[in-house]
Structure 1
Amino acid sequence: MTIKESSFKWAVAAMAFSLLVYSFLMWQRKSASAQGDMKVYHSIATQLSEGKIPYRDFTVEYPPLALVPLVMPHLVSLETDLDYRTYAFLYTLDSLLLMLAFAVVLLQVARRWPNALSRWQLLSVYLLFIILSRDFLLWRYDLFPALLTLLAFSAVLLGQPLRAGIWLGLAITAKLYPVILVPVMLVYYVVGRQYRASLALLAGTGLSILLVVVPMMILSDNRVFSFLTYHQLRGLQIESSAAGLLMMVHLPDLTQVSTEFNYGAFHLLAAGVDPVLKVLPWLFLAIFGGLLALFAFRLQRDYRRSGAVSAESLLVCLLATLLIFIITNKVFSPQYLIWLLPFVLFLRVQQIAVVGVIFLLTNLVYPVFYPRLVDPTVFGVLLLNGRNLLVIGLLVQLLKKAGWIRRGPF
Structure 2
Amino acid sequence: MSTRAGPGPELLGAAPERGRTPVLRIGPWALAGFALYAALLAYLTKLPCRLASWEAPDTFRHLCYSDLPTLYASRGMAEGRFPYLDPSALLEYPVLQTVVASATGVLAHALDPRATLHAGQGIYFDLNAALLAAVWVGVVLVVGRMVAHPGHAVLVALAPAVVVTGLINWDLWPVLCTVLALLAFRRDRWLLGGVLLGVGTAFKLFPFLLLGAVVVLALRRREAGPALRAAAGTAGAWLLANLPFALLDPVQWGWFWQFSQDRGAGFSSVWHWWNEVAVPRLGIPLLSAEGINALALAGFALACLLVLVLGLVAREEPRLEQLAFLVLAAFVLSNKVYSPQFVIWLVPLVVLARPRVAEFVVWQLVEVLHWVAVFNWLGHLTGGTDGLARAEDLYLTAVALHTLAVGYLVVRVTADVLRGRRGSG
TM-score clears 0.5: yes
Alignment of 1:5-154 (within 5 A): 8=27, 11-12=30-31, 14-15=33-34, 18-19=37-38, 21-31=40-50, 32-35=52-55, 36-43=66-73, 46=77, 53=84, 56-73=87-104, 79=110, 81=113, 83-110=120-147, 116=148, 118-119=149-150, 121-129=151-159, 131-154=160-183
Q: Residue 272 of structure 1: which of 269, 286, 289 is its match?
A: 286
Structure 1 residue 327: Cα displacement: 1.0
> Kindly tell me: are residues 109 and 371 of structure 1, through their superposed partners in 2, closer, same or farther at Cα, counting changes over 3 Å?
same
- Greater RCO (CA < 8 Å, at least 6 residues apart): 2
Contact 1:280 1:329 in 2 (8 A): yes
In the alignment, what sits opposite 2:184? 155
In the alignment, what sits opposite 2:206? 177
Task: Tell me how far apart the structure 1 counterparts of residues 251 and 293 of structure 2 sit (CA, whole Å).
Answer: 28
In the alignment, what sits opposite 1:385? 400
Tell me if 1:343 matches 2:363. Answer: no
> Kindly tell me: are residues 149 and 55 of structure 1, through their superposed partners in 2, closer, same or farther at Cα, counting changes over 3 Å?
farther
Letter in 1 for 2:306: G
Deviations, residues 47-80 of structure 1 (Å, cap 9, x unaligned)? 8975762694422200101134324535777936
Contact 1:162 1:203 in 2 (8 A): yes
TM-score by length of 1: 0.79
Corresponding pairs, count: 371
Letter in 1 for 2:47: Q
Q: Runs of 5+ in structure 1 lacking a partner?
A: 111-115, 257-269, 303-308, 406-410
Task: Tell me how far apart the structure 2 counterparts of residues 13 and 276 of structure 1 sit (CA, whole Å).
Answer: 41
Task: Tell me how far apart the structure 1 counterparts of residues 366 and 206 of structure 2 sit (CA, whole Å).
Answer: 20
Letter in 1 for 2:307: L
Relative to structure 2, which stretch is displaced further, 331-340 or 221-230? Answer: 221-230
Deviations, residues 101-157 of structure 1 (Å, cap 9, x unaligned)? 1111111122xxxxx3x32x234312331x333442113100110110111111100
Structure 1 residue 172: Cα displacement: 0.7
Structure 1 residue 185: Cα displacement: 1.2
Tell me if 1:330 matches 2:336. Answer: yes
* Aligned sequence identity (%): 20
In the alignment, what sits opposite 2:324? 318
> Kindly tell me: are residues 209 and 13 of structure 1, through their superposed partners in 2, closer, same or farther at Cα, counting changes over 3 Å?
closer
Task: Tell me how far apart the structure 2 counterparts of residues 365 and 105 of structure 1 sit (CA, whole Å).
Answer: 32
Relative to structure 2, which stretch is displaced further, 132-141 or 58-67? Answer: 132-141
Relative to structure 2, which stretch is displaced further, 41-50 or 171-180? Answer: 41-50
> Kindly tell me: are residues 145 and 48 of structure 1, through their superposed partners in 2, closer, same or farther at Cα, counting changes over 3 Å?
farther
> Kindly tell me: are residues 248 and 98 of structure 1, through their superposed partners in 2, closer, same or farther at Cα, counting changes over 3 Å?
same
| Paired residue secondary structure (1:125) | helix
In the alignment, what sits opposite 2:18? none
Structure 1 residue 40: Cα displacement: 4.5
Contact 2:374 2:395 in 1 (8 A): no
> Kindly tell me: are residues 37 and 6 of structure 1, through their superposed partners in 2, closer, same or farther at Cα, counting changes over 3 Å?
same
| Paired residue secondary structure (1:403) | helix
| Paired residue secondary structure (1:103) | helix
In the alignment, what sits opposite 1:113? none
In the alignment, what sits opposite 1:203? 232
In the alignment, what sits opposite 2:371? 363
Structure 1 residue 378: Cα displacement: 3.5
Q: Residue 287 of structure 1: which of 289, 298, 303 is its match?
A: 303
| Paired residue secondary structure (1:235) | coil
Deviations, residues 188-216 of structure 1 (Å, cap 9, x unaligned)? 23432443222211221111011111101
Q: Runs of 5+ in structure 2 lacking a partner?
A: 1-12, 14-22, 56-65, 383-387, 421-425
Task: Tell me how far apart the structure 2 counterparts of residues 316 and 17 of structure 1 sit (CA, whole Å).
Answer: 27
In the alignment, what sits opposite 2:257? 228
